[in-house]
Structure formats: structure tokens, C-alpha cells
Structure 1
Amino acid sequence: MTPNIRPLVAGNWKMNGLRDSLAEIKAICEGVEEPHFERIDTLICPPATLVYVATALAENCALHIGGQDCHSQESGAFTGDVSAAMLADCLASYCIVGHSERRTLHGEDDLTVRAKAEAAIAAGLTAIICIGETEDERRAGKTLDVLRSQLSGSVPETATAANTVIAYEPVWAIGTGLTPTTEDIAAAHAFMRQALTMRLADEAQAMRLLYGGSVKPGNAGELMAIENVDGALVGGASLKAEDFLAICEAYRALLG
């Protein structure tokens, strides 16, 4: 944790969720109204088909709703794509960009991610920019080099603590049940804070840095206690309200 930074627990549902999954959104809404959650922010990013209905369900609760991706253009002949303006029109407040699955499966490079982040910010959304190394890069000792390059290429000049969140997700830890050591995570987050400070000065000191990669109720407390870890980007464990709220619960002990 970083003193004076309000933690964020964000759930990425990926390509999961039909209308009956909205019951989980409702349960999360009810759960985050508990008084001991008032000191953290919570977010669920469902598939685009559920964003508008989810924002309606969350209208009167503390839960934020976001998108999982956006196009870099506001509109145009881009069949099947969703713009940041469309997500904002659906009352979303966040958008994930540059997730490793987009980088790997859709060939998105840093310039593409930066353009999407700029579009999200311009639409009034908070951009969650994902970065992280592959297993081969980790074994080659290139983790910090990769993070330096992705931060430099993916984070726009318009980034501030108010409109941008950085999520460190080691690619090899996503959905595998594997997590880096606490020392490795601490080193990565300290490096990110330093690299961002060199570019963004004081804004970087207040910017939220999330950890993602097999975050579960059983390890959330240990992970969230690491210095410069200001929350979590949660995958599979966010699909069930019980698990997501249990991860949020880890902050009860940390915040006192």
C-alpha cells in the first residue's frame, strides 16, 4: 500500500457473463455498501454487452462499472469495435487498455495502447493501462526493461493521477495460479513509481499502481500489503461476488 492513496479493487470479467450474471453485480453492489469498504474504490468491467445494464444496477451504490477495451477513434467504420465515447455514453467510468491478452492475441503494441488510453481519457474515462513481462522475458532478466519500455510507450502525456491507473500484470501469472514473490512485486512497483515520477513528477506519487495475476481471496492480503501496491486487477476471482468481496475484505485489516 501507498499512504494517502485510495486503493482500487477492479474486476475484469473478460469474455464471461450473460444476463443472469447480473445477479453477481447486484450482490457486489450490496456488499460494497458495507461501512468497512467505504475507504476503497471498487470496479467491475463486464463484457460490453452488459455495461449499460450494469451501470443501471450500480447507479445508487459505490461500485464503478468500466469497459475492457476501446477503439482509439471516437467513431467510424470499425465493425465490431466499441469507442471510449460509447462506453462513457453507457455511463461507464473506467476502461482497461493494453491488457496482455490484447497485446498478445490482437497484436497491440505500445503506440496502439497509448492511443486507446488517450481516447479513454478524452472521453472522460479513467484509463487502466496494463503492462507486464512474459515468462521468457522474466527468465532472461528483462522484467524492468520491459516495464520501462511499456511505460514509456503506453502512457500518454495527458496521464494524471486522476485519469490514469497502471496495472502490473506479469503475463506468466495471469490465470495460471502462479504469482511472483512479494520481493519481485515490490521491486517492480517501486521501479514503476520511479519511472513514472521521472516523466510525470508529483502526479506519479498519487497515481494508483495495481497488481494483477492470479489474485485470490487467499493471497490478497499479502499482495495488497506490499509497498506501492495500491489495489488489484482481478480476473477469474471477480466473477463471483463472494470471492470479489473477500478480496476487498483484505483491506479491512490493512486499513484498520
Structure 2
Amino acid sequence: MNGDLWIAVGKETGNWDDLTHPEQFLGVALVIAKISDWKSALTENLKDQSIEQRMKQALQNLPKESASDTHRVIDALNYFKTQSVRGLWTLDQMVKGNSPHARLKNELSTNLNWLATHPQLITIGTYGKAEWLKNNVPQAQMLERTYGLLAALVLPFLTTQDKLLIVPAEPELVSSLLDYIEQSLDNWQRTKMAQYDSGSFTDLQQNDLKDSALDSTALNSIAEMGAALMSLSQNAQGEIRVYHPKDTWSNVKFFKFEEVLP
């Protein structure tokens, strides 16, 4: 195959295991790029540190007792919640001062802004309320169908020689994910479309990615930032909101569930 290999790394936001709160915000995001662009992005430097290094460690300004082993936006948001930090943020405007909250806010904004303005990494997502999902999609199929239809949006725009590998956050979704891609592509001429597959990072590293030198931890952290961008910019009930300036965020597009799901 002479085409490009594309990797779509997925992440969910919200509690998909508990849909008892009808107004709860839920979403699924994919960060997508050619494998060559993923490799290049991970070597970029931000504040004298490579992106790969930043994504493989906790936020530096987050108290250790509140941090995971890797970069997770949700850790910072949970911490801010305990500190009653709220407000509307613009990612390219840093907070003045050297307080712990200011340093953490600026670090998080810098990282999110890197993804939001990246010219090669494509961030797409779909979101909405739990009530809409419960009323329109069988619960046993929610995540698989959402991932599948979101991935299907991309396929018609790749070349026929390309291959898209979809890596969802939940490995158990892999077996049925492709069924929903198939269903959503019924109206397309498949002979004019890229190939597609899904799998876990373990499977991909043993096969398509074995020589790529891509770090799955770093890619997962970037996907989590993609889901966070969607949640922070689209969830009207969020205590922290992020302004989405459409003229400066590159390759970022979020859809409501009803725009994507049948």
C-alpha cells in the first residue's frame, strides 16, 4: 500500500456507565493524524520539554495527591473543583501572577492550546445529554455506535490508498465498532474510500505500529485532551468553560449527537 497510515485515538468524556442523570454531558472524541505527523508532533517542544514527555507525566503544577501518573486534564479539573475555581478561559491568554492556581491554569491552558491550534492533528467529537442518548440509541450500543459513526465521518476524505486505524478508549468496543462504521457508509461508494480497521494499542504495536516508535501513553493523553477541549467548550453547565474561537482553533470540529447519530 502506497497510501498513508492514519491513527485515530479515541476518548470519552462524562460517565457513560451511569445515565440516570438526564442533563449529564456525554461525549466521544477522536484525535486523528497520519502516523508521520503523530511522530513529528510528539517531538515538538513546549516550554523546553517535548510533547511526549509532557503527556507521559502528570501536570507539573498539580499537587501530587491529586495527580495520576500521566497527563490527565480531568485531574486538574477535579482539583479546581475542590478549590472552587470557576470561570471562562481563553487558552491563549495566560493568568498573571505566580500563585499555585495560576501556574496550574497556565500549564493546562498551554497544553490544551497546543492541540487546539495544531495544524496536523485533527480533533473531532460528538456530544450531548444523556437523555437524548437514552431516547434515541439502545444503551448496549451507545459507545460502539458513537465511535463508529464519528470515525465514518473521516473516511470519505482520505485517499483510497490510505488506511485508518481506530483505537477507542475501551478495548472491548473493538469487535463491534467496525459494524457501525459499515452501517454508516451504506450511501458512500466504498471503492473510493480509505481502508479502515480497529484495535487496541497492544495489537497495533505488534503489527502496524511495531516500527513506528509511537508511545501509546502519550497518544492516549492527547486524546484525553481532545475530549476535554470538547467538554470545556461545549458543556454549558461546566464550572470551567473554554472559549472556542473558530478562527484560531485548527482542525477542530464538534457535533451534537443529533447531527451525527441516526
Is this a same-fold pair by TM over 0.5? no
**The structure with more helix, counted as a fraction of residues:** 1
Structure of higher RCO (CA pairs closer than 8 Å, 6+ residues apart):
2
TM-score by length of 2: 0.30
